[in-house]
Structure 1
Amino acid sequence: MDRAEKREVVTALHDAIAKTGVIVVAHYAGLSVSDMTKFRRDVRGAGGHVKVAKNRLAKLALEGTNAKGIADLLKGPTCLAYSDDPVAAPKVAVKFAKANEKFVILGGAMGTTVLDPQGVTSLANLPSLDELRGKLIGLVQAPASKIARILNEPGAQLARVFAAYGRTSEAA
């Protein structure tokens, strides 16, 4: 790889990291090509990307971004999984790490916050953006249905009162 290609890789990676919501750094030593391909496919399916680059080039790409604090994690065979959704890449990475013992999560970054492996795991346990949207819509719709029930209830109570009075006057 000549200097121009390296510069191109650094620029592309820098742009991707600058626009992303979360980055997960992991060791992948000992994984087969099919396992790594499966990981890439899973991350892509969740809306993220996986990048394997030389650590020196990745460190250069991290300069000037919010995630520059993870540069210390880039030692040995590392890959970067990143996504715009703050829980997509961590969810896939943690699930993949549970299934493959050779895939080790080193940490990550969300904005300017540097995450340790436990931070990535706790981020993965959060509900996804789509799940949160569903819950929010449910919460917004619930009060409307309750209001409709409350507005209909006084008329029903009034009808029950009249019916009760009618039964008592018939009995008398």
Structure 2
Amino acid sequence: MNRTKKSELIKSIHSTFKCADVLVITHHAHLTVKEIEDLRAKIRAVGGCYKVVKNRLARLALLDTRYANLRHLLTGPTSLTISKNPIPAIKVIVEFANKNEKITIIGGGLGEQVLDTNEIYVLSTTPSIEESRNNITSVLRNVPRKIVTIIGAPASKITRVLRFHSISDS
């Protein structure tokens, strides 16, 4: 690859890092082309991207981004999961790593925060924004019904008491 192409690649990756809300760095060993394509498709489906880039180029691309402090993690056969939507991308890469011993999560970053492997695994169990919205919506849908039930409960008790007294008086 000539200098011009390297420079263009670095600029492209740099702009991807600038826009990303999450970066997960993994080590991969002997992944087949099919496995990489499957992983890329899954990450792309949640709005992210999976890149295998030479460490030297990735280190240069990380300069002047909020992930510059992750440069030390770029050693060995590394790959990068980058996304604007953090939780779904983290879930995909963690699920893949759990099922495939050829990939190991090294660390990453969420915004300005550096994440270690354990923190990434914890985030993978966090509900996504969509899941949280759905949970809140279902709770809010049930509130009016519960209010009506609570408000109606004393009246029904009074009715039962009055009905009991009218029956016992007869």
TM normalised by structure 2 equals 0.90
User: Is 2:107 the counterpart of 1:131?
Assistant: no
User: Is 2:120 the counterpart of 1:147?
Assistant: no
Aligned residue in 2 for 1:43: 43
Aligned residue in 1 for 2:122: 122
| Unmatched runs of 5 consecutive residues or more in structure 1 | none
1:79-125 CA-to-partner distances (Å, cap 9, x unmatched) read: 11122222222211111112211111111111111112222111112
Counterpart AA for 1:86: P
In structure 1, C-alpha distance between the alignment counterparts of 2:56 and 2:38, rounded to whole Å: 26
Deviation at 1:25, TM superposition (A): 0.5
Runs of 4+ in 1 over 4 A off after TM superposition: none
Deviation at 1:39, TM superposition (A): 1.0
In structure 2, C-alpha distance between the alignment counterparts of 1:64 and 1:31, rounded to whole Å: 31
Deviation at 1:66, TM superposition (A): 1.3
In structure 2, C-alpha distance between the alignment counterparts of 1:86 and 1:44, rounded to whole Å: 12
Deviates more, 1:8-17 or 1:68-77: 8-17
* Alpha-carbon contact 1:105-1:117 (below 8 Å) kept: yes
CA RMSD of aligned residues (A): 1.7
* Alpha-carbon contact 1:28-1:79 (below 8 Å) kept: yes
Deviates more, 1:156-165 or 1:116-125: 156-165
TM normalised by structure 1 equals 0.89
Q: Which aligned pairs between 1:23-38 and structure 2 lie closer than 5 A?
A: 23-38=23-38
| Unmatched runs of 5 consecutive residues or more in structure 2 | none
1:65-85 CA-to-partner distances (Å, cap 9, x unmatched) read: 111111111112211112222
Counterpart AA for 1:36: I
Evaluate the alpha carbon distance shift between residue 70 and residue 148 of structure 1 in structure 2; reply closer, same or farther with a 3 A threshold: same
Q: What is the percentage of aligned positions where both structures have the same residue?
A: 36
How many residue pairs match? The answer is 170
Aligned residue in 1 for 2:65: 65
Aligned residue in 2 for 1:52: 52
In structure 2, C-alpha distance between the alignment counterparts of 1:2 and 1:113, rounded to whole Å: 35
Deviation at 1:165, TM superposition (A): 2.0
Counterpart AA for 2:34: S
Aligned residue in 1 for 2:78: 78
